[in-house]
Structure 1
């Protein structure tokens, strides 16, 4: 299902194949005596592996190593979500087996089908390089998949109960503000972040609280919808073959998804590395601009969305990403993980907060809509 760039497992993150083989015996097809594993190197959250059992291939997902926040990285919840979502949204992968016994890997985990396709990160894959129309096709497929996600009938699919949609936006601000403050407190004597009066993180929180809108609708919310969580048909960049990473999915305001997607789409740097986001290249390279992205989403969904009205959701998107990367950095600083990819994340959190504050200032300077 997932990213094609698997590699040998990172030191300390190896899978115990003997225990895994016994736990899976009789529970899924394939030659378990020939079981092998590689690790997908992308991502900063759950650990993801490619398993081969003879001719059969599966993707294994488990929580990261070390202490995790209560309620986070719930593999059983993600598995049961996919059980309900896959039949009504086929781009969601089919889950295969859930193992909740912590004696196997030290934490619950699940397996799902493997899908094959191209993952687009900071540049076009070679499969699309000769297609001059690929940037537009990828952009439109991204918007259309988000629209399809938000069109799922949550009541018919039995999905309304996975979240509490009423008051969703207020709880988003409160919850992420609390996480930010706890992570900042862990780092208060480290010097890794500027003080609040310089960074304006508390000003961002206060603005989000003061301007929280009522929910525009109640739909599925993926909560990490971005270009490199999609897989595309190598022969057709307009066709999405998989939507990945459902761990934070809930029910709430769909514009929260749109705001986070636009945060990724327009960001010249991505958390954890200084590589240009492909969408930030803009219309001059054939990708949809922010304004065209919003217009297509509005047309596809029938929702009233304008570049100015979605700014609150983009500020929230920047803030959420800042919280996530700072939490990961705090784990790295505490020695709970030694993954070198996490070393620059405090700087990325700072950049995201400053960008959120600059968008607030630009909006306030623009006057009433």
Structure 2
């Protein structure tokens, strides 16, 4: 068990007091029924990072394994789909080396109170937010990370969904139209006040007036960003792409636009800096235009409607932060980081409107 212990110590884990989860004994009995042994003599600890789903490091059959579950409380429609994620991971791992294997899915809420899944654990480096301290002294790391992000996204979009056994994942026909309508509906549910509702309508109506290209669908991650990648510490190559609960098939430019919605630049509006989702304001990181150009060179994808797609990605992102704030208001989450998310969500929606009228890059 020494190998297991060393991996547990090196993982990015929260203090034991912050890792509480009831039902571990029930979980052990449940897994035993499937011939799996959960080692309760090892501490079960929650991974740090993330704003919604909870990930725990457990020892299963002598190996470190990730238990992943949704947050408590009422969840937004279509969000935190453990079954969808397990289906993707259990198949896509055969096609891409940087996708961890899905090991088991359980929809029986009597076990730990929510659906959950078990996923192969892959240790490595995770760069969270804007903190580059782990790469101090490594000249060229921002450039390497920029290239790695674009190349990894291109590799995902190059997978043949049929060969991966995911040819019936999602409904790619009409994907963009449903995304606009779906996020508009979700926004109405969490937008408080007439001014915010009007801002949502402005963005939604603008998006509905746009002409989006029809492209062959690809597999989509739908939340592709740096902290959803676990990296090999020396080479910065991707070891695991995680957080697949929104994965589907659709227009590949939507994934690129999602990445760009997190890709803050030094001269961006303050709200994009407050996001603190990626360290791209630091010297050496590419600018968004170069990211898009490199993606087009690697995939051959035209970028005619990238501006409209970026507005859609920002529209979605603003609403996601409104949803997260609502979960905090409802008491489903206790993390005080959520307290300012309503203001941040509204500011991102304002940026989406500025991008649509050409007054922001």
TM-score by structure 1 length? Answer: 0.87
Partner residue of 1:136? 143
**CA 1:252–1:64 in 2, change beyond 3 Å: closer, same or farther?**
same
Equivalent residue number for residue 242 of structure 2: 244
Q: 2:312 aligned with 1:311, yes or no? A: no
2:64 pairs with 1:57: yes
Does 2:349 match 1:348?
no
**Structure 2 CA distance, aligned partners of 1:31 and 1:63?**
20
Counting only pairs closer than 5 Å after superposition, residues 77-92 of structure 1 correspond to structure 2 as: 77-92=84-99
| TM-aligned CA deviation for residue 38 of structure 1 | 0.6
Residues 232-251 of structure 1 deviation map (CA, whole Å, 9 limit, x = unaligned): 111112x1111010000000
Q: Which digits, 9 at most, give the CA deviation of each residue in 1:273-325, with x for residues without a partner?
A: 664741133xxx1111111111110111011226xx41111111111111111
Q: Which moved more, 1:7-16 or 1:211-220?
A: 7-16
Q: Could you say which residue in structure 1 is the equivalent of 2:55? A: 48
What does 1:285-364 align with in structure 2 at a 5 Å threshold? 285-305=283-303, 309-362=305-358
Q: For the residues of structure 1 that align with 2:41 and 2:20, how far apart are their CA atoms?
A: 20
Shift of 1:111: 0.8
Q: What residue number does 1:266 align with? A: 264
DSSP-derived class of the 2:357 partner: helix
| 1:278 pairs with 2:274 | no
Are 2:71 and 2:332, in contact at CA under 8 Å, matched by a contact in 1? no
Kindly indicate whether the alpha-carbon contact (under 8 Å) linking 1:17 and 1:35 is maintained by their aligned counterparts in 2.
no
Quickly say closer, same or farther: Cα 1:17–1:153, change in 2 above 3 A: same
Superposed displacement of residue 70, structure 1: 4.1
Change (3 A) 1:91 1:233: same
Structure 1 residues 140-149 or 34-43, which shifts more?
A: 34-43
Aligned partners of 1:277 and 1:50: how far apart in 2?
24
C-alpha displacement of 1:36: 2.7
Structure 1 residue 221, shift from structure 2 partner: 0.9
Counting matched residue pairs gives 350
Gaps of 5+ in 1: none
CA spacing shift, 1:275–1:82, aligned 2, 3 Å: closer
Q: Which residue of 1 aligns with 2:152?
A: 145
Shift of 1:220: 0.5
Pick which of 257-266 and 117-126 moved more.
117-126
Structural mapping, 1:101-140, within 5 Å? 101-121=108-128, 122-126=130-134, 128-140=135-147
Which moves more between the two structures, 46-55 or 107-116?
46-55
| 1:83 positional shift | 1.0
2:80 alignment partner, SS class: coil
Q: Does 1:5 align with 2:12?
A: yes
Deviation at 1:65, TM superposition (A): 0.4
The offset of 1:337, in angstroms, is 2.8
* Residues 28-50 of structure 1: per-residue CA shift (max 9 Å, x gap): 66662424311113112211111
Which sections of structure 2, spanning at least 5 residues, go unmatched? 1-6
